Chain A
């Protein structure tokens, strides 16, 4: 590798990521070493990273039938499936609400304050109520994930509907387009990038919410295992594995949205709007 390539590497965003991850590992390990020196049970506070990684590959059965990794993965599926259903439902409701709010100002005036109020109630307070109403932990997971999803989706999509340039609407009017055509050919395609902004915010949130709902009741799910592990019903490394797995799932869910957006709208959002007169001079 010659000098120029090194320069390129140091200037690239990859380099920043490498430094960031290495720095995180160093800080974590320094912390773990200190904790190991002053606490009687350091793995409850901050274990070394190699201990966590070791527990992932350990074949030791921790609850009679399953290893720590098997427990985590089988419960991850329970949580993820419900979070996914809730996310899709919430996104659908959010999109339809945004459509209605853009079509009828009265609906916007009526609905919007309540949307914000629902969003202000802490999820920790809402979850037991939803559980009491549905009397089913699975349904609660779905409902809570949906509630967290629909607000960012609805607001972002609505702002997309409102951002459509006057000229683009006028073209539709000058062609005597029906209202259905205006939605189908202009407003809905236009707001897709905005919709995805909302989906990107909501996806990790839906998963976090689903994990939180797990902790309310026994019967499986990542959150349930997490609290059992913290209460020493099983090895504490189940907890640490879940911490890392949740972070990874959150990032992956975001990436999935980025990927879906590229698939559905093959043009960069930042280029729209200002591509008219100014660029013509180039």
Chain B
């Protein structure tokens, strides 16, 4: 959730301000992060001037700005319609390939999990236990077309079937 009174640049900058990183370095990192999410041109826009997808990407840039070792994304796209979600999934993959960070991505959508991941961890409810770990050997870089391949379908089925015992 972005701060409405700050531009995209100043939103990405905010965590670094708290950590006391010098100004010159902050400015550099902000440009670098916004470039990574393809928003370098929108740096001086306020959140209400951006689309939801752009806001989401600024949020990712802000999280990456403090160079975390891993990034936890808790159902970030769950409220979106299918088309927007697929578009953001593709963009997340390209951001991920540039950022080279481990991302732990929580989702309820099986096809989303297979599309994004190297490894899908299936959790069982009450109590939350790991009920299966499915490796996803699909080649990268991945594009939406991969969803139409039999390999993709087989992996989705595999993940779905691992719920059977739950």
Binding site for B on A (CB under 8 A): 165, 167-168, 171-172, 175-177, 181, 185-186, 189-190, 192, 265-268, 271-272, 275-282
Contact = CB atoms under 8 A, between A and B. Distances in A.
Contacts of A265: 5
B5 A281 contact: no
Contact of A280 (B14, B53, B66): B53
A268 B47 CA distance: 11
Given A192-B5, A266-B46, 11 more contacts: A172-B18, A176-B18, A181-B18, A185-B17, A275-B48, A276-B55, A277-B52, A280-B53, A280-B56, A281-B52, A282-B52
Contacts of B18: 172, 175-177, 181, 185
Contacts, number: 65
6 contacts: A189-B5, A192-B5, A267-B48, A268-B48, A276-B55, A280-B51
Contacts of A275: 4, 47-48, 52, 55
Interface residues of B, number: 23
Contacts of B53: 280
Nearest to B56: A280
Interface stretch (B79-87, B104-112, B137-145): B79-87
A279 B1 contact: no
A185 B4 contact: no
A280 B80 contact: yes
Interface of B: 1, 3-6, 14-15, 17-19, 46-48, 51-53, 55-56, 66, 79-81, 84
B5 A277 contact: no
Nearest to A172: B18
**Residue of B3, B79, B80 with most partner-chain A CB within 10 A:** B3
B78 to A, nearest CB: 8
Contacts of B46: 266-267
B46 to A, nearest CB: 5
A185 B80 contact: no
A177 B19 CA distance: 8
Contacts of B84: 280-281
B81 A167 contact: no
B15 A279 contact: no
Contacts of B80: 277, 280-281
Given A175-B18, A181-B18, A185-B18, A276 B1 contact: yes
Chain B CB within 10 A, most for which of A176, A185, A186, A278: A185
